[in-house]
Structure 1
Amino acid sequence: MAFQKPSHTFTKIHLKALHTNNFKILFALSFTVFINTFSFAQDIPQKSQPIKRTVKEKDSVSSSLDSLLIKPVAVKEQDSTLKDSIKPKKELLENIVKYHASDYTTFNQKKHKLYLYNQATIEYGDMNITAGSIIIDYTTNTVYAKGILDSLSNYSQKPVFTQGSSVVEPDSIIFNTKTKKALIYNSITEQGDGTVIASITKKENDSVYFLKNAKYTTAEDMEDPEYYFKLRKAKVVPGKKIVTGLANLFIYDVPTPIGLPFGFFPQSEKQTSGIIIPTFGEQNDRGFFLQNGGYYFAISDYIDLAVLGDYYTNGSYGTRLESTYNKRYKFRGNVGFRYENLINSERGFPDYSKNTIYNLRWSHSQDSKANPNSRFSASVNLGSSRYYRNSLNQVNSGAFLNNTLASSVSYSKTFQGEPQVNFSLTATHSQNTNTETINMTLPTLQGSIGRMYPFASKSGSKKGIIQNINLQYNIRGENRIQTTDSLFFKKEMFDDAKAGFQHSIPINTNFKLFKFFSLSASANYNEVWTFKTVNKSFDPIERRTVTEEINGFDSFRTYNFSTSLGTTIYGMFNFEKEGKDSKIKAIRHIIRPSINYNINPAFDKYYDTYEVVSADGLTTSDVEFTRFEGGIFGSPGKNFSSSMGISVSNNLEAKVRDKDTTATEAKKIILLNNLNFATSYNFAGDSLQWSPVRMTGGTQIFNNKMSINFGATLDPYALDNNNNRINKFNIDNGGSLFRLTSANLTTSWSISSKKGDKKDKNSEAIQENLRSGGRDDDLFGLGEDFANQQIKDVKDDETPVDNGLYNYSLPWSLRIAYALNYSNSRRENQISSHSLMFSGDVQLSEKWSVRASSGYDLKDFGFTYTQLSFERDLKSWQMNFSWIPFSDRAQWNFFIGIKSSMLKDLKYEKRRQPDIRL
């Protein structure tokens, strides 16, 4: 309900069902109306000079009317207070007050006080107060709010003061509705990521609070915070900042020497620019250092920039630029550039060396809703081949074992219609960090016109060999560059670039044969354009072949034909017997055999010869070559080819009794996901017409937790005494039907407890691995930049019941990868590689966790790259210890700091970095 000040209040009469007197009731009501009528009257002001009113004459007709004919009108004289210069006094309460209480609401007319008791609520403008007891004093414009004592003498229903976005939970509060000032006792206020606990708070206005003997903390337990900053005096501007005088750190109410004569805590709800505190450390070869310090620029709501730097006292330095951008429903991505200038030893010493390394990364993805007909994406990771191995920054520890760097930037466009037209532009980059070889395409152009059925009916399905004839057009153009690390982005890099276009028109058809077989046939026309050809000749003086490059347009055309025949065979083995509920219900075997035939004509018209002349001037031989040799799309085939390919794929599935007794159907499991055999026979070959049989297979067991993949190569031909293949079957040479030339086996097994399988694939350390070209797990280790990783508290949905007994399950996870490769192509009969990789983590207690990743080389008998990590959750703090015990990157790193992003610079980090030799 709404009420006004006492002089404007209607008196409320409570009528009770007692003995009544109508005359007295009417008299009381009349008197009440009379009193309230006078209560609305205003004081008569002092007489002042009256303001004359000027009336504009309308027309002559109206002015000529006889005044006797005008009937006098009783005009109520307007109050002069509406016309004088004195402004009326403001009401005591400018807004309507809404209030409510569960037990009672009473108003004391003598003291002009309103009393609200039990679950009291009052709203005044943007202010809201809820408390056990509220008293409004109209004479002093003051609101008193406090809690009440319950039946057990406990102080309950403490006030909650809300004004705008500010929420305060004190023990009691005094608020002046006129000055908007307030005194708040024992308040708890959330400010950004932290909480302010103050014994006395003075609210100066809507945007300024003054505190005395306050505590600032990010702990969750306000009754007993594990740490806090004690603020003797402080000024709070909600949503902007907290400025303090003397402040020092308390841990469980124990003061520490960590303190400041004054402090500034930013409280902006938006991202703001600011300094990033570096990490201090020491390295034997390069002295003391500062790492990952710099400045963060909050450019806008869509993009930011972090400029970070490293410095070593021996002169080495590094810099990092990291930027993230995001526009909702449009695109998102991040860009990073890293540069390090590394100096080893001291100038003048024999082992002095200097090296510069760099790395550029860019990731961009477009929202599918932005434009369904065009798409732009980028994934770039390029730079020095030795960057991840020589880098001193611990951020790159997880990418130490990377052997390749790859990049791709592409734009694609689709033109809807009949037929549909697609084209794309792509720039790719592939870099081997061991050989330092770089292959790039700048750019690759691809275009296609959708599949067309010239003989199909406009309505209905396509039937028969004629109606299923279809064709399409494809074009591909490339500018391919092959270079090395030392020539990357230099002029010499583009000297040997090769460019060309490839046009292809495939024509296909398919139809059913004898109901159970599917027959398909295709012919392909191929045309290649190139801008660089070669010419070869023999130099009789130098006694060598001379290759000359010829710049200019040239082209060649080829065509081929192929057909394939395939079917699917199903075999069912039923194990169910009447009256018996067997565990295995049935096994289904699926076989997909196929035969294909290919014809490639000989295009020897594109081949020329040159003569090799002996020292005495005689021609010894004619050597054939093609001017298209070394082209990016190959060269035309010189020999006629007619071959047949044979392949068989198998799949085994089983239906078993479900462990769930409520299930109505049997459970289907995969016994063998695939088992494939493939070989070919060359009809045009004069020897070794059969190619080796390639066998591959794979399956998953243990409820898809373990995957197994295997493969083998079986050669039907024998070897001679020099271990060369001969045109004689191995079985005819005293051996078996096939000769095992190679084999491989890879397995990966991931197991975990029920709670241990909840791993965060989007964690910052995993994302850093992926951006660097690594794995999406910790099998090869993780980065060690604990200070810049926002460690989030993972809370379980189920809270264990404390019954006084220790009953704690240990969440754990284990990942194992095993690889075995066997080689016997030339009777070497050896295992070329044999390794076991593993990583795992276990949560020893609710706060302790351990993680490890390592491997063992079963061939050379040695441990591979090993990393151990220990983590301790200290509620509002986080402690980490990472250790690489051996290898060239042997190091350790200890870190302890506050989890809150606002106070993450309050940290201690100590590390021993590896002594990397350049």
Structure 2
Amino acid sequence: MAIQKPSHTFTKIHLKALQTNIFQILFALSFTVFINTFGFAQDIPPKKKGIKPLATKDSVSAKVDSLKTRNTITAKIETDTIKIDSLNKKPKLLKDIVKYSASGYTSVTRRDQKITLYDNAKINYEDMEITAGVIIIDYEKNEVYAKGIVDSLNNYTQKPVFTQGSDVVEPDSIRFNTDTQKALIFNSRTEQSGGYIIAETTKKENDSVYFIDRGKFTTSKDLEDPEYYFLMRKAKIVPGKKVVTGLTNMFIANVPTPIGLPFAYFPLTQKRTSGVIFPSFGEQNNRGYFLQNGGYYFAVSDYFDLALLGDYYTNGSYGMRVESNYAKRYRFRGNLSFRFENLINSERGFPDYSRSSIYNIRWSHSQDAKANPNSRFSASVNLGSSRYYQQSINQLNASNYLNNTLSSSVSYSKTFQGEPQVNISLTATHSQNTNTQTINMTLPTFQGSVGRIFPFAPKGGTKKGIIQNINLQYNTRAENRIQTTDSLFFKKEMFEDAKVGMQHSIPLSTNFKLFDYLSVSAGANFQETWTLNTIEKSFDQATQETVITEKNGFDSFRTYNFSASLGTTLYGMFPFGEDKKIQAIRHVMRPSISYNISPAFNQYYDTYEVISADNLTTTEQEYTRFEQSIFGSPTNNYASSIGISVSNNFEAKVRDRDSTATEPKKITLLNNLNFSTSYNLAGDSLNWSPVRVSGGTKLFKQMNVNFGATLDPYALDSNNNKINTFNIDNGGSLFRLTSANLTTSYSFSNSKSKNDDDRTNSRAQEESRRSGGRDDDLFGKSQDFADKSFNDNEDNAEETSTLYRYKIPWNLRLAYAVNYSNTRRQNEISSHSLMFSGDIELSPRWKVGVSSGYDLKNQGITYTQLRFDRDLKSWRMNFSWIPFSANKQWNFFIGIKSSILQDIKYEKRRQRDRDL
């Protein structure tokens, strides 16, 4: 126990002693205090000083060199007789050098101790700089006065510009004290973090505090006549941090509005900060009043942020969203989103009352290519409830209402450099049909490969001939495949029917030239398949049904096949003359013929007996135990076929309209025109496969056209079944058209809107793309005008012209699709639709858009969205309307575009009114 402080002990004991009259007790307690103060308890006392050893002199004495002693100079310390002045020195008039200049003249008045600078005057002192028409320096009062100049036309020019550090103030006049650093600023204008402050009188207290009287705070670009502002009677400004004001209210076009507060706080910061996200208010018929998209934004760090948003309806429905973005330069970037909605329709007791829960998880991750060249990780996840985009009440999902598929993929790959090179990858995939609610997943898929090995290639030089080009490689693939439904997703039942398997393949191939013009390639492929899922079939005579028994255990089968192909390239030129508009047509044709052979693997097939209940006859049915395995089953049929294909490309040389051009212009007539068919050598009938035709081209530089058709050479009988008779021998044409399709898309606009880079549209398209929808606005545009990340383009300079409506920006996107089916003489158009989406600027700040279509087969208008945008300079007004469909709704928004005042808004939403 260490020494205690006497003050504490005396207080506790002696004050108690004053409450008694017994002197002996007081004396005893005082003695106790003395002991407690200087006593020790369970402590090691300090060690006593040890006995020092006696110092003995060395008997050998060291002699000092006499020469050194003589040359040694003794230093003397002399004391200054002049005493230090006890009075403090008078500080200098200026702490730094004052630099000044003027284009007109510089006048110095010694009597008034003033310096006058005229015309383009400039003064620099420490971190302060003032430029003005006239600057007067009063070095007696340590003040600087600056103002502008009135020219001959009575215009006030060369207004002062006061700069100190990062703060810039543009007043009509200013008085600045160089000693106290205080200033009086009249009619100033300053920019603070995207906002502008216009004040009649400003008092600069120091470098970080300003006080203003009757100031205006606005984000308008027009400071001469701002379309809106907040009038601040008294306010305090801390540059780069905040504006704190008393009574303030909004003025629109210099007209006061009742929108005001007894006090207000405006943040002024260049960094991302956390803060409240104000919700939107509205009403919905079958859910009541609501608060939507309200929450809190967390600026966690420079690499990561987090937003928590929520919705609430008075009938009990609610929703929540968790969104996060992360990035690290030169490493990776991504975003994560989780959305959950508990929806209650109508109210309890009504016949249309229902409740459901929907959710959606999205994750996108991309790795920078420079982070690691030998390994890569990426993710694109979009999974959740199958009916999420159809039932969601958030207007961000308006463009994804027609989504039929949700898909996800998370993969990691790594490359091991060497000879040969080894690649491995691990992938988890997910595919979900929103109509059937069927989900297919692989958790995970492993793939590995060893690079090509040329065992007979020379050590140096190129490989020539059939032997030197022989190469082989090794590939493997393993999967854990799961098929389930939306109701069993992420439950234990979904893993019960999982299928597991692994497939190994070793392809062996070679290639060589034949007669210098023909390219020949030949190869063989050996494949071994492992599986843990097999079946056994038997027949139940009582129920007259086939019983399938699933077995879990390791099993395998092996297959192999051979193939060869022969191809070449033919070039044709059809000249028409250089004086013609079309000078020549160039045709490139690539014919090829291939042969494939695969033996029958009957050793993997078994039989079971089927007994007929009518005549008790027994028949044998053949099956393979690998029928339901993950990679399919081996074939028990001998296959030998010849494949024929021809691909074509057509180009034209056209005389250029430009007379100065020396070369003709090349245009593409057909990007591709392909024909393919095959002949089955091992078949006993219907040996020819249908001829498949496909092609595509681009017209007018913006129009993509793709087409396809299937031509069957065989005829149909009276029951519309295919028979082994050619159609031409049955009284028909050479081929029978069984199916055809045509798709085309066209996008065009005038020159102004063609190059317009609208960040709002880009963000909406990215939102639709991440959700699995279209990014061309044909199904509508994803919009959330009050979103925290909403940001508009800078105001573009308007073109002026004396002509009325000389140019109106517009754009239009068209998509046309038709499908024809005639496999069994139905001769019908299976689908026929036209979709379009476009925007037009009626005026420089009015924009109207529509996304819709027409079903030409069913004679009806497809999913439609109407959009109206009004740019109010500092404000923006939007209206979006889906007039019909199960997702009919409208949304109205008006608010300030600036990010620092984005919560000043009005929003009205109405979704899915009750259908009576």
Same fold per TM (> 0.5)?
Answer: yes
Q: Which residue of 2 aligns with 1:467?
A: 468
2:542 equivalent in structure 1: 541
Q: Is 1:790 aligned to residue 822 of structure 2? A: no
1:404-443 aligned at under 5 Å gives the runs: 404-443=405-444
Superposed CA offset, 1:583-620 (max 9, x none):
21211011110001001111111111111134499561
Distance in 1 between residues matched to 2:188 and 2:905, nearest whole Å:
29
Distance in 1, matches of 2:217 and 2:900, equals 12
Counterpart of 1:742?
739
Alpha-carbon offset, residue 95 of structure 1: 2.1
Counterpart for residue 769 of structure 1: 768
Counterpart for residue 268 of structure 1: 269
Find out whether 1:815 has 2:816 as its counterpart: no
Matches within 5 A, 1:677-696: 677-696=675-694
Q: Which residue is equivalent to 2:710?
A: 713
Q: Which residue of 1 aligns with 2:645?
A: 647
Give the whole-Å Cα distance in 2 for the aligned partners of 1:78 and 1:502: 102
In the TM superposition, residue 221 of structure 1 has moved relative to its aligned partner by 0.8
1:728 matched to 2:732? The reply is no
Instruction: Indicate if the aligned counterparts of 2:752 and 2:809 stay in contact, CA closer than 8 A.
Output: yes
* CA apart distance, 1:64: 9.9
Change (3 A) 1:687 1:66: closer
Which residue of structure 2 lines up, in the alignment, with residue 899 of structure 1? 897
Following superposition of structure 1 onto structure 2, how do residues 881-896 of structure 1 map, counting pairs within 5 Å? 881-896=879-894
Supply the distance in 1 between the matched residues of 2:466 and 2:547 (Cα, whole angstroms).
52
Matches within 5 A, 1:530-679: 530-577=531-578, 580=579, 582-615=580-613, 620-679=618-677
Distance 1:405 1:499, change over 3 A: same
Aligned residue type for 1:645 = G
**Where does residue 293 of structure 2 map in the other structure?**
292
**Matched-pair contact (CA < 8 Å) for 1:390–1:916:** no
The 3 A distance-change label for structure 1 pair 446 and 916 is farther
Residue in 1 aligned with 2:84? 80
> How far 1:128 moved relative to its partner?
1.4
Give the direction of change, closer, same or farther, for the CA distance of 1:589–1:71 in structure 2 (3 Å limit).
closer
Aligned partner of 1:402 in structure 2 is 403
Does the 8 A contact of 1:611 with 1:619 survive in 2? Answer: no
Residue by residue over 1:741-777, the C-alpha shift from the partner in whole angstroms, topping out at 9 and shown as x without a partner, is: 1111111111111112135475221111111111112
Deviation at 1:729, TM superposition (A): 1.0
Could you tell me whether the CA contact under 8 Å between 2:795 and 2:873 is conserved in 1? Answer: no
Moved more, 99-108 or 833-842: 99-108
1:814-868 Cα shifts (integer Å, max 9, x gaps):
1111111011101111111111111111111111111001111101100001111
Distance 1:608 1:522 in 2: 31
Shift of 1:121: 1.8
User: What is the CA deviation profile of residues 257-296 of structure 1, one whole-angstrom value per residue up to 9, with x for unaligned ones?
Assistant: 1111111101111011111111111111111111111111
Give me the whole-angstrom Cα distance separating, in 1, the residues matched to 2:77 and 2:320. Answer: 91
* 136-145 vs 239-248, greater mean Cα deviation: 136-145
Shift of 1:60: 14
2: CA distance between counterparts of 1:228 and 1:71? 79
Change (3 A) 1:280 1:72: closer
Query: What does 1:31-42 align with in structure 2 at a 5 Å threshold?
Result: none
Q: Deviations over 1:719-746 (max 9, x none)?
A: 1122111111111111111111111111
Q: Flag the 1:62–1:498 CA change in 2: closer, same or farther, 3 A.
A: same
Within 2, Cα distance between the matches of 1:65 and 1:117?
Answer: 75
Q: Rate the CA distance shift 1:258–1:480 in 2: closer, same or farther, 3 A.
A: same
Using the TM superposition, name which of 759-768 and 535-544 deviates more: 759-768
Q: 1:529 to 1:88 in 2, by over 3 A?
A: farther
Aligned to 1:306: 307
* Structure 1 residue 66 displacement after superposition: 13
TM-superposed deviation, 1:176: 1.2
Describe the SS at the equivalent of 1:825.
coil
Give structure 2 stretches of 5+ with no counterpart: 1-63
Match for residue 147 of structure 2?
A: 146
- In structure 1, what is the Cα distance between the partners aligned to 2:264 and 2:865? 39
SS of aligned partner of 1:466: helix
Aligned residue for 1:755, secondary structure, equals: helix
What's the CA shift string for 1:614-671, capped at 9, x where partnerless? 4499561111111111111111111110000000111100111222333322111100
> Given residue 769 of structure 1, which amino acid in structure 2 is its aligned partner?
S
| Alignment match, 2:751 | 754
State the shift of 1:791 in Å. 4.2
Cα distance in 2 for partners of 1:70, 1:607 equals 118
Q: Deviations over 1:401-442 (max 9, x none)?
A: 111101111111111111111111111111010000000111
Structure 1 segment 474-493 matched on structure 2, within 5 A: 474-493=475-494
Deviations 1:27-48 (A, max 9, x none): xxxxxxxxxxxxxxxxxxxxxx
Change (3 A) 1:631 1:158: same
Secondary structure in 2 matching 1:93: coil
**Number of residue pairs matched by the alignment:** 850
Offset at 1:543? 2.4
Query: TM-score, normalised on structure 2?
Result: 0.90
Q: What amino acid does structure 1 have at the position aligned with 2:365?
A: H
Distance 1:731 1:695 in 2: 19
Report which stretch shifted further, 110-119 or 324-333: 110-119
How far is 1:330 from its partner?
1.0
Aligned partners of 1:515, 1:395: CA distance in 2, in Å?
Answer: 60
- Which shows bigger deviation, 760-769 or 164-173? 760-769
Query: What residue is the counterpart of 2:214 in the other structure?
Result: 213
2:836 matched to which residue of 1? 838
Letter in 1 for 2:566: L
Write the distance in 1 (CA, Å) between the matches of 2:517 and 2:362: 53
- Say which of 698, 701, 715 aligns to 1:700: 698
Where 2:767 maps in the other structure, the secondary structure is: helix
* Closer, same or farther: CA 78–338 of 1 in aligned 2, 3 Å: farther
What is the rounded CA distance, in whole Å, between the counterparts of 1:347 and 1:87 in structure 2? 88
Structure 1 stretches of 4+ moved >6 Å: 59-67, 69-79
**Native 8 Å contact 1:888 1:916 kept in 2:** no
Match of 2:520 in 1: 519
Give the structure-1-normalised TM-score.
0.89
| Distance apart, 1:488 and its partner CA | 0.4
| One-letter amino acid of the structure 1 residue matched with residue 783 of structure 2 | E
Instruction: Show CA shifts across 1:779-832 (max 9, x none).
Output: 1001231111624235557x5345x44353011111111111011101111111
How big is the alpha-carbon RMSD for the aligned residues of Structure 1 and Structure 2?
2.4
Partner of residue 23, structure 2: none
Q: Which runs of no fewer than 5 residues in structure 1 stay unpaired?
A: 1-58
